[in-house]
Amino acid sequence: MFTKILIANRGEIACRVILTARKMGIKTVAVYSDADADARHVELADEAVHIGAAPSRESYLQADRIIAACKASGAQAVHPGYGFLSENAAFARRVEEEGIVFIGPKHHSIAAMGDKIASKKLAKEARVNTIPGVNEAIATAEQAVEIAKGIGYPVMIKASAGGGGKGLRVAFNDKETFDGFSSCRNEARSSFGDDRVFIEKYVEEPRHIEIQVIGDSQGNVIYLNERECSIQRRHQKVIEEAPSPFINDATRKAMGEQAVALAKAVKYQSAGTVEFVVGKDQSFYFLEMNTRLQVEHPVTESITGLDLVELMIRVAAGEPLPLKQVDVRREGWAIECRINAEDPFRNFLPSTGRLVRFQPPKETMWAGDTQHLHGVRVDTGVQDGGEIPMYYDSMIAKLIVHGKDRKEAIAKMREALNGFVIRGISSNIPFQAALLAHPRFVAGDFNTGFLAEHYAQGFRAEDVPHDDRDFLAALAAWVNRRILQRAAGISGQMPGHQFTVGEEFVVVALDEAGKHSRQPARVSDFEAQSGSSVVTTGEKRYEICSNWHLGGSRIRGTVNGKPFTAQVERGVGKNPLAIRIIHDGTRMDTLVLTPRAAQLHALMPFKAPPDMSRFVLSPMPGLLVDVAVQPGQKVQAGERVAVIEAMKMENVLFAAADGVVANVLASKGESVVVDQPIVEFA
């Protein structure tokens, strides 16, 4: 067994590998860029090596520097994690040639599965179901139309080297095929330097289901059940679960056996994932093989009780698999939510900056620990006060729950999301909460088009359902009563003039448009010691009991005898008296006033926000990589104005109307913040 390994990655996956290595008694070496000097993975590792500047192409993608770090530190093996160089066959080969063990499949297996056209041919030879289509590179748009007619519409046009949604189009007729072929070629050429395109049958109402496999150097390969990954936004997975709520045991077995056959065909060693598209009739077809550890591997670990990272390390060290196919178990239900640094209410634009507060829910399961299951686990590479840099992926944590069945797992996840505190940046937690409450998700009735169908116009605050909004108002009144209690207890008050707290309040729900709703609330039977009181609003009565302290971000307690977790923030927006309540993804900003103060507040004029229609504003924090206009230039609506880059994502800003540029307020290469004016029109 190795005594020291290097992790050629960053963030949560680097931390994840370190935890298993520590359990196995193996020392770890972290690598880091300028942006990650104070990152959590650097802190967790036994030693760390600096490998370059912040952009990944100057650090984490520099194979020479990673190999040099291995040699300098004496690491005998390198774990690539996922992303970066994890599926780079040339890197795996170089590592092996330098006498270092690559903790992953052999380079020839990576190469065989890395090319979509070649992998399809291999799958056919291994008798794996493949989608009807033409796997040869297609030369012209006219030829593409003829092929599409022969297959039958709808068809999918895909770039051989595509990925992440790039170089992919669905066509329902000849014109869409002709146009889509040209677009795919151009996109693939510019993104991947490879313009080969092929066509296959498009499976309607498709589900994305993948099989986890693992093989050793002795030729043994087993499958570790499936994962359901159909909840996707722009071809990026959002929620994953294991097992799938859709397929039956016969389909599971058939898919697993075909995945094993494919892995054996390429002499696969290590953990890998065979991805399938599954039709509504449970017909399934091979999509591709990911020759690395998947982001969503924790859900498989939860239902099987296996540590996949440990198995990868042991296999790489030459050990045989410690179990056979009959030993693989499937217990309970696991769900993973990807917690991303993005603003769901601003079209999921990246959100970077300081994590003013980062408090995950209480963990009862841990990465690398296969004993404590049926609980909550958080895999993350960040910590309280850390920085979310603009240079890398937007995922900051993975929240994993394991329950005895799917219903319990969903309930655990909703409660865990309620207790996940993130301040300083925006996160997609409200979006995740809305998905988990959606009736079709709860019923398991969804496919890969689910998000496009239900959130075609984007995600808005009103898309977050809440069973009882009166509870949010009642909780705000309860929080206010706790705050006033402290004021009433301040010593040194003049006799006869002590501060007294009444029972009658008005909860004013604030919104940005100035349309404030007002809701009377009575807080009675208040007990300062136990935190118990009764809040009556309208015809509803809430007995709230919690030992929440005034500086806490989370409120845990009971309401009418049932446990709840919510979040509270004081002094939000421009009002130091405002109280924000967050529960089940819904956010309510309130002022809790006495009845007389509420009367006076209703008379206050509403100050509308300034008119910024003359400006092009930055929709996200990032790097201004291009300004395409100059002062005095005439610009038409829809014309490109500027480009901002953040988290491996380019965002092009367009003019909303015809006009003349008056001023350019930011320069190329400058770091910009949200809503910073970039261009002003006359």
User: What amino acid positions are annotated as catalytic residues?
Assistant: 288
- Determine which helix (DSSP H) or strand (DSSP E) holds 199, and give its type and residue range: strand 197-201
Answer yes or no: are the C-beta atoms of 243 and 409 closer than 8 Å.
no
d(CA 267, CA 221): 9
The runs of H, that is alpha helices, within 130-288 are 141-151, 174-192, 249-265
Within 8 A by CB and 6+ apart from 143, the residues are: none
**Which residue from 380, 352, 374, 402 is spatially nearest to 295, judged by alpha carbons?**
380
Backbone CA torsion sign across 27, 384, 83, 226: positive
Of 423, 440, 434, the closest CA to residue 345 belongs to: 434
Cis peptide before 322 (omega within 30 of 0): no
Q: What are phi and psi of 527, to 5 degrees?
A: -120, 110
How is residue 384 written in tokens?
A: 């309280």
Q: Which of 607, 562, 362, 572 is nearest to 476 (CA)?
A: 572
Residues 188, 162 contacting (CB under 8 angstroms): yes
Partners of 208 in the beta sheet?
277
Q: Quick one: which of 302, 301, 221 has its CA closest to 269? A: 221
* Cα distance between residue 231 and residue 446, in whole Å: 8
Burial letters for 264-295: b for 16+ Cβ neighbours within 10 Å, e otherwise?
A: ebbebbbbbbbbbbbbeebebbbbbbbbbbbb
Nearest-angstrom CA–CA distance, 410 and 437: 9
Element containing residue 535 per DSSP (H, E): strand 532-537
The string of DSSP codes covering 446-493 is: --TTHHHHH-TT---GGGS--S-HHHHHHHHHHHHHHHHHHHHT-S-P
What distance in Å separates the CA atoms of residue 162 and residue 160, rounded to the nearest whole number?
6
Q: Helix/strand/coil (H, E, C) string of 57-120?
A: HHCCCCHHHHHHHHHHHCCCEEECCCCCCCCCHHHHHHHHHCCCEECCCCHHHHHHHHCHHHHH
Report the DSSP pairing between strands 155-163 and 197-201. Answer: antiparallel
Give the phi and the psi of residue 319 in degrees, each rounded to 5: -75, 150
Q: How far is it, in rounded angstroms, from Cα 426 to Cα 350?
A: 8
